[in-house]
Each structure stands twice: as structure tokens, then as C-alpha cells.
């Protein structure tokens, strides 16, 4: 935290980038930090390789988010990205090698690629940004508080994930005291699904399959086109599948427009899907992880299901051994 603070205090121009196919934590933390540093007199470029999803277009500053790689900024900050490839087309090896990188993230699979790694296993990156801004004594206005609360609320599914403690609720109180409206955020972020998302859910739910404790569905380009869905639409479906009784792991396989398959996984209490995601070139958290794999749908599905089944068996065995030792 201290070295991140020193780098940021010394810089006049800062480049901040979040991950591709951005979610609320990526956009909220990006804007929160960018607006906060501006209040301290810095010039900030805020960047994301992919467009900002429409549901976040109530946040101040979203229109300024650019898809340009860094130019002459002195420091690069990466947001909510477990590895540098998650920046997509913003990542230019030559430019990134020539200046300090502050890696702000909360994924257990983070590869520690930064000059400074501000990686903490908290429910959201927004909390690390919040702590950093406080350390920098940045003023907390309504716009910054709203952006950070969007990050916290989206990554905790409205404070419902198992990693939520009183700490997150305390931060929410502070942000609300600074002017953020939890009512507005939940309304705008969770109660505004486009009809194309409902269409996609319908298609995907009609094709749900189950093998033992693993449930999955597949979304192909045909479904995406038929529903007129954007690349990141319907990504909360996987959490819904994971809420099924008797299901320990839920997976949504989605064919991307470049032909690769995006794999989104959720695990029930006591299970871990992050190791499989990491092994297959992705990353994430124990209970929410993902990866993107080149290949045909059926082949990718079998590969992932095989790895998941093996991982679940290993985890169940480890637990049994632990119980036997304990008992």
C-alpha cells in the first residue's frame, strides 16, 4: 500500500486499465480510482479494451473510458486483472516494460505481474481502491462513492457471497454516507436486464445438462445472434445454475465471435474451481472462476468437465482425510 501510494503521489499522469469484458467491479474500481486521483490534481487516463456495458452508463466518467493503450503516462495501474493478458489489446509489452505497474486485484490466482502488487483476497477490488484513496487522503464525493459501491455490490451479488463480513457492510455505510444510493445502484444494475438477456437465458436454460453434481449449459453464436445479445450478456446465469439443489459446480460455456469458448464456473460452499481455471489458462476466485479455451464446443466441454470431476474428487478425498485426522 505504501509503495503504491508513493508511486501515485510522485506521478502527474496516471494510466488506469481494467480487464476485458468488464464487470461492475472492473468499471466501478476504474472510475473510482480515476475520479479520486483527479480530485488530487492528477491527470488520469481510464481505459478498457472492451465497451462499457450499458447498465453502467449512469456512472460519472464512463464516456471517458478509452480503448487506447498508454502513451506518456508515468505510471500504469491495472484493476481487477489476475494476469496482464486480461487487459486485452491495451497490453503493449514494450510500453508496459518501460514504466512502473501497480497491480490492484483480489483474485487468488493473481500472477503478481506488477512492480507493486496490491493484491488482497477481499470480495472486491473496489475495497482495495477505497483503502488506497483513503491512504492518499483523496476526498470521497458522491461520484467516487457510487462507482466504488457498484464494484462492491456487483462482486458480492448484493452482499450475498460467502466472503462478505461486517467490513464490507461498514464500507457500504461509508460510501452511502458520502452520497452513494444503494437503492439506485441495485435498481440500475440488477433490475434493468435487456430483453436480449431474457431471450438468451431462455435458450440457455432450455439446454441445461447435468452429470452428477455438475450442471452446465452451452451458448453458441447462433443463440447470441438470434437474441441480439452483446458478448457479456447473461453472465449471471451461471450463478443461478449454481443455486440448484444438489449441484456443487455450475458451468456456462459460451462460444465467442472468434470461435474460442469462454468458460464461466461457480462452485458451491466448500468447493474450489479456481485451480482448474488456472490450469486451463484462466483464473478467478475459489467459488467463481473462468478461462477461455480455443477449440470446438464439444471438445472444450469434455476437457473442462473431466478436469472439474477430477478436481472435485481430489477435494472430496482431501476433506475426508482431514476429517479422519481430526476425528
Q: Which stretch binds ligand AMP (CB under 6 A): 65-73, 95-103, 288-296, 300-308?
A: 288-296
Residue 254 binding ligand AMP, by CB under 6 A: no
Q: How far apart are CA 284 and CA 108, in angstroms?
A: 7
Q: Which stretch binds Mn ion (CB under 5 A): 60-68, 85-93, 150-158, 247-255?
A: 150-158
**Quick one: 26 or 172, whose CB is closer to Mn ion?**
26
Distances (CA, A) of 172 to 35, 135, 138, 148, 175: 18, 18, 17, 9, 5
Sign of CA dihedral 244, 80, 159, 196: negative
CB 103 within 8 A of CB 81: yes
Q: Which stretch binds Mn ion (CB under 5 A): 47-55, 131-139, 154-162, 216-224?
A: 154-162
Q: How far apart are CA 33 and CA 138, in angstroms?
A: 10
Residue 283 binding ligand AMP, by CB under 6 A: yes
Q: Which stretch binds Mn ion (CB under 5 A): 93-101, 123-131, 172-180, 272-280?
A: 123-131
Q: How far apart are CA 142 and CA 103, in angstroms?
A: 25
Smallest distance from ligand AMP to CB 258, Å: 13
Collapsed DSSP state (helix, strand, coil) of residue 43: strand
Instruction: By CB under 6 A, name the one of 78, 82, 111, 156 that touches ligand AMP.
Output: 82
**Quick one: 83 or 155, whose CB is closer to Mn ion?**
155
Instruction: By CB under 6 A, name the one of 110, 241, 292, 300 that touches ligand AMP.
Output: 292
25 binds, among ligand AMP, Mn ion, none (CB under 5 to 8 A by kind): Mn ion
How many residues line the site for ligand AMP (CB under 6 A)? Answer: 15
Nearest to 116 by CA among 6, 273, 240: 6
CB atoms within 10 A of CB 296: 10
**Quick one: 18 or 308, whose CB is closer to Mn ion?**
18
Smallest distance from ligand AMP to CB 194, Å: 18
Chain positions 155 to 194 lying near ligand AMP, rule: CB under 6 A, are none
**Quick one: 208 or 230, whose CB is closer to Mn ion?**
230
Q: How far apart are CA 111 and CA 239, in angstroms?
A: 25
Q: How far apart are the first and last CA of the chain?
A: 42
Residue 284 binding ligand AMP, by CB under 6 A: yes
Q: How far apart are CA 307 and CA 275, in angstroms?
A: 10
- Report the DSSP beta bridge partners of residue 254: 219, 262
Instruction: By CB under 6 A, name the one of 235, 271, 272, 300 that touches ligand AMP.
Output: 235
Residue 290 binding ligand AMP, by CB under 6 A: yes
CB 249 within 8 A of CB 311: no
Q: How far apart are CA 169 and CA 191, in angstroms?
A: 21
Q: Which residues contact ligand AMP (rule: CB under 6 A)? A: 82, 86, 107, 235, 238, 264, 282-285, 288-292
Binding interface with Mn ion (CB under 5 A): 23, 25-26, 80, 125, 155
Amino acid at each position: 500500500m505504501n509503495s503504491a501510494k508513493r508511486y501515485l503521489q510522485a506521478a502527474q499522469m496516471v494510466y488506469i486499465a481494467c480487464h476485458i469484458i468488464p464487470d461492475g467491479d472492473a468499471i466501478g474500481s476504474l472510475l473510482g480510482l480515476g475520479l479520486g486521483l483527479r480530485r488530487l490534481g492528477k491527470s488520469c487516463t481510464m481505459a478498457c479494451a472492451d465497451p462499457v456495458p450499458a447498465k453502467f452508463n449512469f456512472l460519472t466518467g464512463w464516456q471517458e473510458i478509452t480503448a487506447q493503450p498508454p502513451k506518456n503516462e508515468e505510471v500504469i495501474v491495472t484493476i481487477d486483472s489476475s494476469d496482464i493478458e486480461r487487459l486485452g489489446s491495451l497490453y503493449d509489452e514494450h510500453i508496459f516494460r518501460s514504466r512502473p505497474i501497480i497491480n490492484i486485484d483480489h483474485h487468488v490466482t493473481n500472477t503478481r505481474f506488477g512492480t507493486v502488487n496490491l493484491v488482497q483476497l477481499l470480495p472486491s477490488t473496489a475495497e482495495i481502491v477505497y483503502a488506497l484513496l483513503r491512504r492518499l487522503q483523496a476526498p470521497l464525493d458522491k461520484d467516487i462513492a457510487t462507482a466504488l459501491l457498484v464494484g462492491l455490490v456487483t462482486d458480492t451479488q448484493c452482499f450475498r457471497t460467502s466472503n462478505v463480513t461486517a467490513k464490507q457492510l461498514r464500507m457500504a455505510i461509508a460510501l452511502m454516507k458520502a452520497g452513494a444510493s444503494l437503492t439506485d445502484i441495485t435498481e440500475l444494475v440488477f433490475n434493468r436486464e435487456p430483453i436480449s438477456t431474457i431471450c438468451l437465458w431462455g435458450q440457455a436454460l432450455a439446454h441445461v445438462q447435468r452429470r452428477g453434481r455438475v450442471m452446465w449449459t452451452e451458448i453458441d453464436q447462433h443463440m447470441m445472434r438470434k437474441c441480439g445479445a452483446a458478448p457479456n450478456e447473461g453472465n449471471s446465469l451461471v450463478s443461478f445454475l449454481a443455486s440448484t439443489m444438489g449441484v456443487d459446480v455450475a458451468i456456462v460455456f459460451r462460444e465467442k465471435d472468434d470461435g474460442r469458448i469462454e468458460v464461466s464456473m461457480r462452485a458451491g460452499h466448500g468447493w474450489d474451481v479456481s485451480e482448474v481455471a488456472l490450469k486451463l489458462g484462466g483464473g478467478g476466485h475459489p467459488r467463481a472462476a473462468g478461462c477461455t479455451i480455443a477449440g470446438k464446443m464439444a471438445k472444450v466441454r469434455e476437457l473442462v468437465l473431466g478436469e472439474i470431476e477430477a478436481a472435485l474428487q481430489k477435494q472430496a478425498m482431501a476433506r475426508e482425510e482431514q476429517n479422519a485426522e481430526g476425528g
